[in-house]
Amino acid sequence: MLGESHDLLHEFPNLAERISNLRAGHPDFARLMDEYDTLDARVRQLEELGTPVADETIEDLKKERLHLKDALYAILRA
């Protein structure tokens, strides 16, 4: 769905406490999460505003967001 939030708390509500703890005490996780949140906001903004952008561009951004989410999830499950 266009403009849908993909923040980690929305994606993994059962891991909210772990996300909070890692964000506070794991600098690499916090950095990745910041990158993920920034990218997610950019994708949502492009979708919601209907900004003219090539399909390949938006798909590349979504793939990058997915890659970051996978990396964050790997840390969460470790």
Q: What is the pLDDT of residue 49?
A: 82
- pLDDT value at residue 3: 56
User: Whole-number mean pLDDT of the chain?
Assistant: 90
pLDDT for position 4:
67
Residue type present at position 32: L
CA angle 73, 15, 2 (to 5 degrees): 70
Residue 78 CA: distances (Å) to CA of 22, 67, 74: 11, 17, 6
pLDDT per residue over 16-50, tens digit each?
Answer: 999 999 999 999 999 999 999 999 999 988 888 87
Between CA 4 and CA 10 the distance in angstroms is 10
26 Cβ contact list (under 8 Å, min separation 6)? 75
pLDDT tens column, 45-68? 888 887 788 889 989 999 999 999
